[in-house]
């Protein structure tokens, strides 16, 4: 559902709200502290510590129904540290006092161990590391039961009765790195995973990055270290594995680092899921979040992934906010704390399943605005109108009632699958860039497969005309995918390409993935990297010539492949040889016809920079043309648009096709429409005479196009003869 001026209250809309069904229904229970949850499955108990209604407590809950069983007062700076399930013992830590051991059943003290406070000098290696990031909580060695403290670059083991130091490990890292900020043991006690602060790896908006380290405790040697240019925000360990989450900055999202047996197995950038629990019974990871258009930042969108690869299996819809905390195999449930209600929630793990299509209610009566429509074009070679067009309709909340926010307007996202005759309400907005892939003549599916780029997820796929979407990104390492390209021969070769702009330079000191283009040959089930390329264009005759045109990632040099992306050859470049840009944002290929050569087009941009390096192309558009497969380039439509006008993104540009000898290129809502009547050699700006802001949505036979109403409502078909040369009035 689109954002608006106010959030509607229950029953305030004049039509049913679309909802997914079925959804895992969490059980809401008693208020719960904000600390991590510790579950003793065989005993059917959950433990948590912290303030509840202003009083610090150690509380116990029932795993079956979440009801509060018992609570005892604790000091305000005490917190539950760990649980020994076999010894039925709880560890409660208080700085400067040490650790108290409690009987897990009676919650009575059975022992106390004083621990030394880490020396101030230990943590002064990097004075600008925030104290809140340092692991002031001790660890419990899973094998010996000894208490472990961390200070600076030292790990110390203490006698579990006297607290005396019995062993010490100084992490052997060269340079000025330190202190240790995160730590955990493997379940067998043989590995120690650490994060060590390093100012040289700081992202542009934080004081420090991290070196991720795995130490073999049998030899006390570092067996692997990897650089992470991010601020650590998540740390989930299980068995001999670990997932580290690092926040980069607003346009990138999360970096996920997966470790297994002391080695980094995979690094995924621009991720939109925060992993919260390991489902031991089914061998899967469960997290929260999705993509900007399909649930990013939405705690009700649960994601399930392979714990050996981080590949997403599916997304499931929860009925309420659920910041997941832990999984309990004995009760086969996932537990979390509701941020809004401050209560323990329980979701049956077996209820997590791919989200089903929500019910789409008819749109309320009103003017449908399609100025920024998402249009799903028919697959290549198939005629007919658009498969789907999105729009928005304005509604008034709680009109004539006492509903909070009553009388305020908000926008609802809508879709039409019949050319604008009828409209239904979408649960959430669709992304730009949806493409339809033609099904095989032997395929019994009733609809084509649709693919879309989904930031934070990578690529999503729908087989029910956009009503539901699931991840199709296995193998893609940079999940902020911006473009998906479908082979014109998809029905036979099942080939797709995906590109992302959010990868690090090949010579970076990061250990992040550097590929930016991927190919799938099985309809999106698995992907493989094909290089550091962007702005791909597939030949209309791809079935025979296997030609793909591309540009270097955030660069001006063009490349060509004539074997479907296996091998690439450098061609020419945009701009002067001593120019850093422009960067190619979108590319297309117009086939040769009527004695004219094949034309390659690219919408190039000036680009923006973050942290001193090229970030992604989004401004300063200009259309360039090549008639020799990228060897030479000529700019055919220059503009001086800038980042100060954010709607001028080149990502909105789309070559809609040809009708009655005229090629139609939609740029954006401001530049309008470019037309070519000579096979793409020259282009001229046009706009609709009676509705200058109306966007062109699709081409139709006979020199007609489908447009969305800029000043008028809905969708209509007009002749290209109604377009006049020049920009829309008041625009450039």
Judged against a pLDDT cut of 60, whether residue 612 lies above it is answered with no
Q: Is 175 exposed, middle or buried (0-12, 13-18, 19+ CB in 10 A)?
A: exposed
Can you list the pairs that 602-608 forms with residues at least 24 positions away whose Cβ atoms lie under 8 Å? 602/535, 602/537, 602/551, 602/558, 602/574, 602/633, 603/650, 603/653, 603/667, 604/556, 604/574, 604/650, 605/581, 605/650, 606/581, 606/582, 606/642, 606/643, 607/554, 607/581, 607/582, 607/583, 608/643
Q: What are phi and psi of 95, to 5 degrees?
A: -55, 140
Helices (H), 6-69: none
pLDDT digits (tens, 9 = 90+) for 634-674: 988 864 444 333 334 445 688 999 999 999 998 865 567 89
Task: Name the CA radius of gyration of the chain, rounded.
Answer: 29
CB 28 within 8 A of CB 322: no
Residue 44 has pLDDT above 60, yes or no: yes
> Side by side, which strands form the sheet with 273-279?
273-279, 284-289, 301-305, 312-317
* Residue that the structure tokens 């059917």 belong to: 44
Half-sphere CA count of 417, side-chain side, radius 13 A = 10
pLDDT computed for residue 216 by the predictor: 97
Q: What are phi and psi of 5, to 5 degrees?
A: -75, -20
pLDDT tens, residue by residue, 134-193:
456 889 999 998 999 988 888 999 998 888 899 999 988 876 677 888 999 999 999 999
Taking the alpha carbons of 264, 257, 497, 649 in that order, is the dihedral positive or negative? negative
Q: Give the residue carrying structure tokens 């706009």.
A: 687
Ramachandran bin of 611, using left for φ above 0, alpha for ψ from -120 to 50, beta for the remaining angles:
left
Per-residue confidence band for 240, with pLDDT thresholds at 50, 70 and 90: very high
- Specify the DSSP element, H or E, that contains 544: helix 542-545
What does the alpha-carbon distance between residue 88 and residue 456 come to, in Å, rounded to a whole number? 41
Question: Which residues make Cβ contacts (< 8 Å) with residue 704, sequence separation at least 6?
Answer: 659, 717, 718, 719, 720
Dihedral sign, Cα of residue 499, residue 502, residue 508, residue 509: negative
- Among 148-157, 185-194, 439-448, 692-701, the least confident range: 439-448
Paired with 295 in beta bridges are none
- In DSSP terms, which residues pair with 317 in a beta bridge? 301
DSSP category for residue 596:
B
Query: Per-residue DSSP letters for 546-569?
Result: --EEEEETTSSEEEEESSTTSS-E
Mean pLDDT of the residues in the chain: 80
Q: How many whole angstroms separate alpha carbon 391 and alpha carbon 393?
A: 7
Distance CA 415, CA 662 (A): 28
Share of the chain above pLDDT 70, in %: 78
Mean pLDDT of 511-531: 92
CA proximity to 570, closest of 546, 544, 550: 550
In angstroms, the CA 691 to CA 467 distance is 32
Helix (H, G, I), strand (E, B) or coil at 604: strand
Residues ≥6 apart with Cβ < 8 Å to 548:
497, 536, 537, 538, 539, 542, 560, 561, 564, 565
């Amino acid at each position: 559902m689109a954002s608006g001026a106010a959030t509607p209250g229950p029953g305030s809309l004049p039509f049913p709200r679309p909802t997914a069904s079925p959804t895992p229904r969490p059980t809401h229970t008693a208020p719960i502290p904000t600390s991590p949850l510790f579950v003793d499955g065989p005993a059917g108990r959950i433990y948590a510590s912290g303030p509840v209604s202003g009083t610090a407590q150690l509380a116990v809950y029932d795993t079956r129904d979440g009801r509060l069983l018992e609570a005892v007062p604790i000091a305000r700076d005490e917190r539950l540290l760990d649980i020994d399930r076999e010894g039925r013992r709880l560890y409660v830590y208080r700085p400067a006092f040490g650790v108290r051991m409690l009987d897990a059943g009676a919650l009575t003290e059975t022992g106390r161990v004083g621990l030394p406070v880490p020396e101030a000098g230990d943590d002064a290696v990097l004075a600008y590391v925030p104290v809140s990031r340092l692991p002031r909580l001790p660890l419990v060695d899973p094998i010996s039961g000894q208490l472990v403290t961390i200070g600076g670059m030292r790990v110390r083991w203490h006698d579990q009765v006297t607290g005396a130091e019995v062993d010490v490990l100084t992490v052997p890292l060269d340079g000025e790195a330190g202190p240790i900020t995160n730590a955990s043991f493997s379940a067998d006690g043989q590995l120690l995973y650490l994060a060590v602060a390093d100012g040289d790896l700081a992202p542009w908006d934080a004081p420090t990055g991290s070196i991720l380290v795995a130490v073999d405790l049998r030899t006390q040697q570092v067996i692997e270290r990897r650089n992470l240019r991010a601020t650590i925000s998540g740390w989930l360990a299980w068995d001999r594995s670990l997932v580290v989450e690092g926040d980069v900055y607003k346009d990138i999202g999360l970096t996920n680092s997966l470790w297994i047996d002391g080695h980094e197995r995979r690094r995924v950038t621009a991720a939109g899921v925060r992993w919260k629990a390991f489902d031991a019974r089914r061998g899967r990871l469960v997290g929260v979040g999705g993509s900007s258009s399909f649930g990013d930042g939405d705690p009700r969108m649960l994601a399930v992934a392979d714990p050996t690869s981080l590949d997403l299996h599916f997304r499931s819809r929860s009925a309420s906010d659920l910041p997941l905390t832990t999984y309990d195999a004995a009760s086969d449930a996932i537990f979390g704390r509701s941020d809004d209600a401050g209560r323990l929630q329980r979701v049956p793990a077996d209820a997590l399943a791919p989200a089903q299509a929500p019910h789409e209610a008819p749109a309320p009566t009103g003017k449908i605005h399609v100025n920024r429509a998402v249009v799903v074009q028919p697959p290549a070679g198939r005629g007919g109108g658009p498969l789907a067009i999105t729009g928005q309709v304005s509604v008034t909340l709680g009109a004539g009632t006492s509903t909070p926010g009553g009388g305020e307007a908000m926008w609802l996202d809508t879709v039409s699958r019949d050319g604008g005759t009828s409209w239904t309400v979408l649960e959430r907005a669709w992304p730009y860039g949806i493409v339809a892939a033609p099904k095989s003549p032997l395929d019994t599916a009733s609809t084509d497969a649709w693919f879309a780029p989904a930031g934070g997820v990578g690529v999503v796929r729908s087989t029910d005309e956009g009503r539901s979407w699931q991840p199709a990104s296995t193998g893609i390492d940079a999940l902020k995918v911006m473009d998906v390209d479908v082979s014109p021969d998809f029905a036979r070769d099942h080939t797709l390409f995906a590109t992302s702009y959010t990868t690090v330079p090949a010579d970076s000191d990061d250990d992040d993935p550097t590929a930016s283009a991927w190919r799938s040959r099985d309809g999106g089930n698995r992907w493989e990297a094909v290089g550091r390329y962007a702005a791909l264009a597939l030949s209309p005759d791809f079935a025979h010539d296997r030609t793909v045109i591309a540009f270097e990632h955030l660069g001006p040099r063009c490349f060509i492949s004539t074997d479907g992306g296996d091998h690439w050859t450098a061609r020419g470049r945009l701009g002067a040889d001593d120019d850093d840009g422009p960067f190619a944002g979108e590319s297309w290929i117009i086939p040769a016809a009527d004695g004219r050569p094949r034309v390659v087009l690219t919408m190039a941009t000036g680009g923006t920079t973050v942290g001193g390096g090229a970030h992604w192309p989004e401004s300063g558009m200009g259309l360039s043309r090549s008639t020799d497969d990228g060897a030479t380039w000529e700019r055919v439509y220059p503009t001086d648009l800038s980042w100060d006008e954010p709607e001028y993104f080149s990502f909105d540009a789309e070559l809609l096709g040809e009708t009655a000898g005229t090629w139609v290129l939609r740029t954006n809502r401001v530049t309008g429409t470019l037309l070519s009547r000579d096979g793409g050699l020259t282009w001229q700006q046009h706009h609709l005479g009676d509705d200058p802001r109306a966007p062109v949505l699709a081409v139709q036979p006979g020199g007609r196009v489908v447009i969305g109403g800029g000043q008028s409502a809905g969708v209509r078909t007009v002749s290209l003869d109604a377009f006049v040369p020049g920009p829309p009035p008041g625009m450039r």
